[in-house]
């Protein structure tokens, strides 16, 4: 299904309604956020445009959508080691494979890193493994990018309010909070040795890959679900252009590339991971 376009006028119209309905202020730079969060709802409602969607919601015909719109615009899914099973699969199957294929110098790119939880999780995972005496000689260069300056500001600063710092770090992962963060009042701050291991850049996935050189692992989790097939293919074309054969694309747990034209194949037996095929 083609992504429903969002014009500037519709964004303004939507911003006025959302602000009145639930107080959320949507700036003109949030078109991407609105499309990614509300696009599925617009499609679900069978509307051909945001204008039509809004009219239906405002008129009461789609009144039940109101709470879902608020949820969609306010829910922040980001957490440390998001989708823990996927991280276990990465650790058990993918990391050894990458080392076997590309040697001890690996480059990983978290391509929609939001406020930094994903790339820092990778650095912390590697540090944890190193503590356990694993991966001797292995070095992973971690690159990260996002479209949002605000998210990147937080990522680069490595500072998280307590509720954000604790998301995903309960139970057996709680030790990570104490090991790799320093407490500063109501905040947790990533320790400099972890923070310094990630290079951040502002980047739109539709633009050329911002890094020079080959990428052995690209993390693109729970981002593609918001794109139309044509956009997905364009993004994949760009990414795989910087990935050697055998490099790995890491998707969200519920995502697939089924039906898309791209030089990628599912990594056998490892759900959520694809390998570049030439």
If the CB atoms of residues 76 and 254 are measured against other proteins, the closer one turns out to be: 76
Q: Which two tokens stand for residue 224?
A: 């593609």
**One residue of 7, 29, 71, 204 binding other proteins per CB under 8 A:** 29
User: DSSP string spanning 29-91?
Assistant: GGHHHHHHHHHHHHHHTT-SSHHHHHHHHHHTTTTTHHHHHHHHHH-----TTSSHHHHHHII
170 interacts with other proteins by CB under 8 A: no
The runs of H, that is alpha helices, within the chain are: 8-22, 31-44, 50-59, 65-74, 84-89, 95-102, 117-131, 149-157, 162-166, 174-180, 192-195, 229-241
If the CB atoms of residues 118 and 255 are measured against other proteins, the closer one turns out to be: 118
186 interacts with other proteins by CB under 8 A: yes
Interaction mask 83-122, other proteins, x per CB under 8 A: ----------------------------------------
If the CB atoms of residues 87 and 181 are measured against other proteins, the closer one turns out to be: 181
Q: Nearest distance from residue 274's CB to other proteins, in Å?
A: 29
Residue 276's closest CA among 78, 101, 150, 128?
A: 101
Specify the stretch interacting with other proteins by CB under 8 A; choose among 120-128, 169-177, 198-206, 248-256.
198-206
Separation CA 91–CA 125 (nearest Å): 9
If the CB atoms of residues 71 and 85 are measured against other proteins, the closer one turns out to be: 71
17 interacts with other proteins by CB under 8 A: no
If the CB atoms of residues 147 and 267 are measured against other proteins, the closer one turns out to be: 147
If the CB atoms of residues 20 and 64 are measured against other proteins, the closer one turns out to be: 20
Cβ atoms of 100 and 125 within 8 Å: the answer is: no
Q: Which two tokens stand for residue 46?
A: 């069978």
Q: How many amino acids of this chain bind other proteins (CB under 8 A)?
A: 31
Task: Label the pairing between strands 181-184 and 217-219.
Answer: unpaired
- Matching residue, tokens 């500063």: 184
**One residue of 2, 8, 23, 133 binding other proteins per CB under 8 A:** 23
Q: Nearest distance from residue 20's CB to other proteins, in Å?
A: 7
Contacts (Cβ under 8 Å, ≥6 apart) of 89? 270, 271, 272, 273
Q: Which residues bind other proteins (CB under 8 A)?
A: 19-25, 27-29, 74, 76, 148-154, 156-157, 159, 161, 163, 184-187, 200-202
């Amino acid at each position: 299904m083609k992504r429903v376009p969002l014009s500037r006028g519709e964004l303004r119209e939507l911003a006025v309604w959302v602000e009145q309905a639930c107080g959320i202020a949507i700036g003109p730079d949030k078109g991407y956020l609105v499309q990614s969060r509300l696009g599925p709802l617009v499609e679900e409602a069978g509307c051909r445009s945001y204008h039509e969607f809004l009219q239906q919601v405002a008129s009461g015909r789609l009144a039940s959508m109101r709470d879902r719109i608020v949820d969609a615009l306010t829910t922040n899914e980001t957490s440390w080691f998001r989708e823990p099973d996927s991280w276990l699969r990465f650790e058990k199957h993918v990391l050894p494979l990458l080392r076997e294929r590309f040697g001890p110098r690996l480059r990983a790119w978290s391509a929609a890193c939001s406020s930094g939880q994903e790339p820092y999780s990778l650095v912390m995972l590697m540090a944890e493994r190193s503590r356990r005496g694993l991966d001797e000689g292995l070095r992973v260069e971690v690159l990260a990018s996002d479209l949002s300056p605000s998210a990147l500001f937080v990522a680069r600063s490595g500072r998280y309010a307590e509720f954000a710092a604790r998301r995903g770090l309960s139970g057996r992962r709680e030790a990570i909070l104490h090991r790799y963060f320093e407490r500063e009042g109501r905040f947790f701050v990533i320790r400099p040795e972890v923070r310094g291991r990630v290079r951040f850049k502002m980047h739109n996935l539709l633009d050329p890959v911002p890094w020079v050189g080959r990428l052995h692992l690209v993390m693109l989790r729970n981002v593609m679900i918001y794109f139309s097939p044509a956009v997905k293919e364009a993004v994949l074309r760009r990414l795989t252009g910087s990935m050697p054969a055998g490099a790995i694309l890491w998707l969200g747990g519920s995502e697939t590339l089924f039906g898309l034209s791209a030089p990628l194949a599912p990594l056998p037996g490892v759900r959520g991971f694809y390998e570049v095929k030439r």
